[in-house]
A and B are shown apart, each in its own frame.
Chain A
């Protein structure tokens, strides 16, 4: 036991004396969560639109007022000619243009039909889509208000309710993802680098020729990172609660326990990587390419898994991060308990056991 504690003490010296790893450990999580929380967002807010109003009557004015009054849009200018729309788009300031036809009000009353053209800048398709939907919704809303007194025989009134994230804050989506990435990065990359560093510097040779058993070396490497990752997870949760007002509906204890499980899964992956990689460079590349990219692209963090082609969906299932994101989204946003996430938890436990088993089998007690 004394040997073991001595080993862990040495690991902490390494971590605290290496500025680079300290930065990755503590600087990155905070920077990432703030970046994703504040800067990187796909919400529609204060989108600038321009308006070409050929009729300039009471109805169009009402509609324009309604649109500008919403927090989603700012009508920044009126233009007079159709040719100016293109110029306005090219200047890049506006994301959409509205074109009211001539005699809008009269057409609406006499022919029960008036046309409005919505032109959006589709260089960013998602935003363009959202803008169109939002404007449509505002128009529908306007019509409903107008028709209140009139009896229509058939009518479908959709009543939508956004549950778990009623304000559609994208930070709610990013926090679980960022937490997953950071825990994965810190745990898997840092352990694999710290084990391969011993190989590279030749100190592994001395450790092998010592009474330390392989599992003592590995556990000794892992314990400091479990400790630091738990601190990291706590920092991220606190930041998201206090800065982004993210609710934790479920049990904090369960959230903590699941995070520890995922940390151990990632550490096991890190150990597995270090048994394959001979140099720190290689360990870093494998961690970045083999872990980070799939976590970002395939875990359902940014792109919904259900809209991926079947082969990618299968691949996404072998990524531990996917299951962890489902678990923490469930706990934080939906407030579910173990009864709803036991399947995902079991999958993570299974993966951890597999990784540890493989690492123990591949760990070399000699140099070849």
Chain B
């Protein structure tokens, strides 16, 4: 049960979309595919939702083979594509009723499953879907994908283009759904959302870089990360890039994440170097690595 992929490859004409991808998602797990645009996330979703044939390899969803048993899969999964794909000229309620009907159920039958989400958009149930805000559209799309009580839920970049508050709410909803024994595969380009998954796969250019629980992935980061700040961000990065012991430097909010080639360093030395280069207001502190640091390191 759950989801199983083994050695899946898929090319569009000459472009390789995904190469030799294998991973398993346990039943009831919240699994994240983390990677930038064009990494191959949508292709994986489309293979698993039986919309595309894999060129090589095999995959199964809820115990059904994606090629042979595609009809069975189509009955038992919920799919929310990356692009908002509901009927814009239908109202909120009409959309939901439509999707309930084509799956042979009714809103009332599975209302408990979507209640948390639907109550938030219910006041607007007579509004056309095209006139909803981004966050509300996502909630409606999630309700529609859930209305037939799927065993597995596929969410392709559900939070892209959604405001931070709605994003947070959305993830809280996913956590609650997980408790109702729904297996969830979710993709996102936002690294901060990765930490909310049970396990994640970091993916780039169609290949998997790493699969593990977010905490475990972070622990594997081999270096100490220094959070460095100064008065001039641009000059700070340039100056660090010229530093002889530099291993890597990435901007991170109002600070930069700096790693050194040496195993241990004296922060005073680094501070002195930066001061000599004309930077002021320098702050240096050790910080915990996060998913983005790992991703940058692996993607190097």
Contact = CB atoms under 8 A, between A and B. Distances in A.
Contacts of B84: 202
A367 B85 CA distance: 15
Nearest to A367: B51
B74 A209 contact: yes
Interface in A203-218: 203, 205-212
Contacts of B101: 2-3, 5-7
Contacts of A253: none
Contacts, number: 79
A205 B81 contact: yes
Interface in A199-233: 201-203, 205-212
A318 B32 CA distance: 55
A17 interface: yes
A201 B85 contact: yes
B88 A201 contact: yes
Nearest to A208: B51
Given A366-B50, A367-B52, A202 B85 contact: yes
B87 A6 contact: no
Interface in A349-368: 365-368
Given A202-B81, A367-B52, A211 B46 contact: no
A340 to B, nearest CB: 46
B52 A368 contact: yes
A18 interface: yes
Q: Looking at chain A, what size class is its interface with the partner chain?
A: 20 to 34
Contact of A206 (B71, B81, B94, B104): B81
Contact of B87 (A10, A366, A368): A10
A210 B148 CA distance: 10
Contact of B104 (A5, A202, A211): A211
A18 B79 contact: no
A355 B215 CA distance: 58
Contact of B85 (A7, A205, A366): A205
A9 B53 CA distance: 32
A17 B85 contact: no
Contacts of B70: 365
A154 interface: no
B171 interface: no
A366 B74 contact: no
A242 interface: no
Contacts of A7: 98, 101-102
Nearest to B71: A211
Contacts of A343: none
A366 B71 CA distance: 11
Interface in B69-126: 70-71, 74-75, 77, 79, 81, 83-90, 94, 97-99, 101-104
A10 B85 contact: no
B79 A209 contact: yes
A14 interface: yes
Nearest to A7: B102
Q: Which of B49, B52, B84, B87 has the most CB of A within 10 A?
A: B87
A207 B79 CA distance: 10
A215 to B, nearest CB: 14
A363 to B, nearest CB: 14
A206 B79 contact: yes
Contact of A10 (B46, B77, B94, B103): B94
Given A209-B77, A210-B74, A203 B85 contact: yes
Contacts of B104: 2-3, 211
Interface in B39-70: 46, 49-53, 70
Nearest to B89: A17
Given A13-B94, A18-B89, A211 B81 contact: no
Q: Which of A201, A210, A212 counts the most chain B CB atoms within 10 A?
A: A210
Which of B71, B85, B103, B144: most chain A CB closer than 10 A? B85
A14 B94 CA distance: 11
Given A366-B51, A366-B53, A367-B46, A14 B89 contact: yes
Contact of A211 (B51, B74, B79, B85): B74
Interface string A113-145: 000000000000000000000000000000000
A211 B50 contact: no
B61 to A, nearest CB: 11
A312 B98 CA distance: 48
Contacts of A206: 79, 81, 85-86, 99, 144
A25 to B, nearest CB: 16
11 contacts: A3-B102, A5-B101, A10-B98, A13-B94, A14-B89, A201-B85, A202-B85, A207-B102, A211-B71, A366-B51, A367-B51
Interface of B: 46, 49-53, 70-71, 74-75, 77, 79, 81, 83-90, 94, 97-99, 101-104, 144
Given A17-B89, A202-B84, A208-B74, 16 more contacts: A3-B101, A6-B98, A7-B101, A7-B102, A10-B94, A14-B89, A18-B89, A202-B83, A203-B86, A203-B87, A206-B86, A209-B74, A209-B77, A210-B74, A210-B102, A211-B74
Interface of A: 2-3, 5-7, 9-10, 13-14, 17-18, 201-203, 205-212, 365-368
